[in-house]
Amino acid sequence: MIVVTTELCDRYVILCLGGELEDTGSVNGLADHLVAMATRDLVLVDLSDLRPIDDPAIGDLLSQVERRLHGRDVVVVHTGLEARRLLRPMDHALPVVPDIDYALRRSRSAQEPTAVEAR
């Protein structure tokens, strides 16, 4: 079973996936759920607690999220070096970074001032 927790901030949303991917058939429903919760221009998808990370369904999930959130800044986060190496060549072009802070530093969406701040 996969558990998704959400942290909603002013300029970004963090979607943390945890648990075990038991069924590759659940990828479409999970992608639907993630896309529905992606309510900001910057979407951080933290897979650090998801197992098994080398499952081809993870690549399919990320590919669907990337395609459906086209135009948004989507970044994959995983704290494990080996896991990041496995995630990078999967069927998606999303950046894979070691932690949330790194993702926020590299993202243009997290750094752009809002209209209120720009005044």
Q: Hey, what are 87's tokens?
A: 């995630």
> What is the overall mean pLDDT for the chain?
88
CA distance 75 to 73: 7
Q: How far is CA 41 from CA 33, 45, 85, 89, 102, in A?
A: 17, 13, 26, 24, 17
Q: Facing residues of 6 across strands?
A: 15
Check: CB of residue 16 under 8 Å from CB of residue 49.
Answer: yes
Q: Which pLDDT value is given to residue 85?
A: 94
Given pLDDT bands bounded at 50, 70 and 90, which one contains residue 118? very low
pLDDT digits (tens, 9 = 90+) for 50-68: 999 888 889 999 999 999 9
Given pLDDT bands bounded at 50, 70 and 90, which one contains residue 119? very low
Domains of the chain: 2-118 (3.30.750.24)
